[in-house]
A and B are shown apart, each in its own frame.
Chain A
């Protein structure tokens, strides 16, 4: 079984400040890791993913995340946020060893609010 914990349910930050959204996971098998963003009344949009290779992954809208296998973490960062980044962010994992068959396991979400 896999589980994902997003350590902060809400993160308020001022515009142009840096932000880090924290994600830890638990799994007995290798995983693929994802960050999604959800704007109000919308579906989920993929920000970035880690499948293999370099542990620093760059995504859309200036976001990046670092996979740390020893700490089982996949924290999301952005050096300078904009008002338009206000949304809910979800960390997710899938079973890399096969047979996940379409299943993503999600964290509970972090609401990022960017203040002017």
Chain B
């Protein structure tokens, strides 16, 4: 059974640009969550999508957005990149129950903003 796949693994972007990251969940999982990991702030929840609908959102500016497709694959987009957006972005897939009982993570996308 394939795990959670995130592409690309590494990205280098310039300030002011935008970026799109992709996440394919485990087959049968309908929920995808996104997290930002930085040395200073640790792991922070961005948002969660289930059946193409955003059900939960963390405390991030509107420059961070996402979407989910009918096959449960998800993308997140960051517009007008800032140096502080440099981070490891992780997605997690789960069954999508109201309470999270298990989440499987991808290997992450390392974004560097220069």
Contacts and interface: CB of A to CB of B under 8 A. Distances in A.
Contact of B106 (A43, A98, A107): A43
Given A90-B43, A94-B100, A102 B105 contact: no
Contacts of A98: 98-99
- Chief secondary structure at chain A's binding surface: loop
Interface residues of A, number: 28
Contacts of B106: 43
Interface size class for chain B? 20 to 34
Contact of B43 (A32, A96, A106): A106
Given A43-B4, A105-B45, A99 B98 contact: yes
A102 B90 contact: no
Interface of B: 4, 6, 31-33, 35, 42-43, 45, 48, 50, 55-56, 58, 90, 92, 94, 96, 98-108, 110
Given A96-B99, A99-B98, 9 more contacts: A32-B100, A41-B110, A43-B4, A43-B108, A46-B102, A94-B101, A101-B50, A104-B45, A106-B43
The 7 A-B residue pairs whose C-beta atoms are closest, nearest first, are A102-B48, A102-B33, A101-B56, A94-B100, A43-B105, A98-B98, A106-B43
